[in-house]
């Protein structure tokens, strides 16, 4: 499971990149989506790599961001009680482990919004014009996306 975060805005970008970001449901900066590791999603991520940060998310980080940023329809927070009554999972931690492992997807949880509206990272981005390997904030993070997501919780 990949976590994809939009880092840059889309003013003066090519139309195909804007459409790709729209298909990924990334409409604003600091929005995060969780996508499975399929060839279709990897192609979309590769096309929009100059505007997003992405990497493999682990269950502990996913539990933290679902607890703090997970929203239901009506902008209600995701709670343990809702997870117990609406899903077969007993807690948000079990739900996060299943999501990170790829057993379920975000749309399998009723009324859970697929986009996580994250806070800008504490201490800010390094730079939004260079890749992560060059010391910036764009592109593939690998397991270090978890550090960025914790800063954005």
Domains of the chain, by residue range, sit at: 1-153
Please write the tens of the pLDDT for every residue from 6-56.
999 999 999 999 999 999 999 999 999 999 999 999 999 999 999 999 999
Whole-model pTM: value is 0.92
Please write the tens of the pLDDT for every residue from 121-144.
999 999 999 999 999 999 999 999
**What is residue 32's predicted lDDT score, i.e. its pLDDT?**
97
* In contact, 24 and 4? CB cutoff 8 Å: yes
Please write the tens of the pLDDT for every residue from 61-120.
999 999 999 999 999 999 999 999 999 999 999 999 999 998 999 889 999 999 999 999
CA nearest to 71, candidates 129, 115, 15:
115
Cα–Cα distance, 120 to 130 (Å, whole number) = 18
CA nearest to 141, candidates 29, 16, 9, 7:
7
* In contact, 100 and 55? CB cutoff 8 Å: no
Q: Which CATH number applies to 1-153: 3.30.1390.20, 3.10.20.340, 3.40.50.2300, 3.40.50.150?
A: 3.30.1390.20
* In contact, 93 and 84? CB cutoff 8 Å: no
């Amino acid at each position: 499971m990949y976590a994809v975060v939009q880092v840059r805005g889309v003013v003066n970008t090519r139309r195909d990149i804007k459409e790709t970001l729209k298909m990924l449901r990334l409409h604003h900066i600091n929005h995060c989506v969780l996508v499975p590791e399929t060839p279709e999603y990897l192609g979309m991520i590769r096309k929009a790599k100059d505007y997003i940060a992405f990497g493999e998310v682990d269950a502990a980080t996913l539990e933290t961001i679902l607890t703090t940023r997970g929203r239901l329809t009506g902008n209600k927070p995701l709670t343990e009680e809702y997870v117990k009554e609406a899903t077969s999972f007993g807690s948000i931690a079990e739900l996060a482990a299943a999501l990170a492992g790829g057993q379920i997807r975000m749309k399998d949880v009723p009324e859970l919004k697929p986009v996580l509206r994250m806070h800008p990272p504490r201490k800010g981005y390094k730079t939004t014009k260079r890749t992560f390997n060059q010391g910036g904030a764009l592109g593939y993070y690998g397991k270090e996306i978890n550090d960025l997501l914790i800063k954005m919780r």
